[in-house]
Amino acid sequence: MIIFPAIDIKGGKCVRLLKGDFNNITEYSKSPTQQANQFSKLGFTHIHIIDLDGVLEGKLINKNIIKEIIKKNNIKIQVGGGIRSLKNIKDWLDLGVDKVIVGTIAIENTEFLKDACNKYKNKIALSLDVRNGYLALSGWKNQTNILATDFIKKIKDFSISRIIYTDINKDGTKTGPNIQETFNFSKLTNIPVVVSGGISSIEDINHIKEKFKNIEGVIVGKAIYDGSININNLSKII
């Protein structure tokens, strides 16, 4: 199982949101670069980075910070936020990003998703942000009436490298992930699925690792930053 420690960037700082609410934001003292350096030194092999300014503005905002992280660390980075074109994807891949995360545009335009997967094989991760079973877009601000379980049927044959399944109601709450819903979703596809939202303890992660073999990994954010999960212990799960 892959552990993805998360870095969300807004205004050049590491932050976390509660349930995707940009009005409920916590800033942390370490810079994104310092945080990434720590993750790398502890032996994590992957980092999940979201440019929250990019999410809001629909374009790449914190590119230079992420570029610096890539330069300083030999670690696989998946990046999302504000990616709206094939050129955006190419720009990130040219910088050395391992996977590019697409969300809103991929759901609004499945042909774009298909083209991206064909052009950049094994490099496209799909972010599905789910609230009560239905997809939400544009930084979780726009709620759709599209069931995630229906959407996966439309794109199940695309060459997507992984799906990041986020339960919005769990994100940032540290109340435990919605494992059963994510697992049920994962059974609908052969695409590897990553659990996101609500991870609160090492026990959560070990439970997923032991019981749900088709889950590729977990994203851990808030619980790292407020110390609920000891980062040194987390690094030993790798």
**Using alpha carbons only, what angle is made at residue 18 by residues 16 and 19, rounded to the nearest 5 degrees?**
125
DSSP letter for 236, please: T
Residue environment code for 135-148, b if the CB has 16+ CB neighbours within 10 A, otherwise e = bbbebbeeeeebeb
Q: Rounded to the nearest 10 degrees, how much is the dihedral formed by the CA atoms of 165, 168, 174, 177?
A: -40
Cα 97 from chain centroid?
A: 14
pLDDT of residue 210: 86
**Strand extents, DSSP E, the chain:** 2-10, 13-18, 21-27, 46-51, 76-80, 99-102, 124-131, 134-137, 142-147, 162-167, 193-196, 215-220
Whether the Cβ atoms of residue 231 and residue 38 lie closer than 8 Å to each other: yes
Instruction: Say what the pLDDT of residue 203 is.
Output: 92
* pLDDT the model gives residue 127: 94
Q: What was the pLDDT predicted at 171?
A: 66
Q: What is the pLDDT tens value at each position of the chain, 238 positions in all?
A: 999 999 999 999 999 877 667 778 889 989 999 999 999 999 999 999 999 998 888 778 899 999 999 999 999 999 999 899 999 999 999 999 999 999 989 999 999 999 999 999 999 999 999 988 999 887 566 788 999 999 999 998 999 999 999 888 766 656 667 778 888 899 999 999 999 988 889 999 998 988 887 799 999 998 999 899 999 999 998 6
* Domains of the chain by start residue, with CATH: 2-235 (3.20.20.70)
Q: Which are the catalytic amino acids?
A: 8, 129
pLDDT at 99: 98
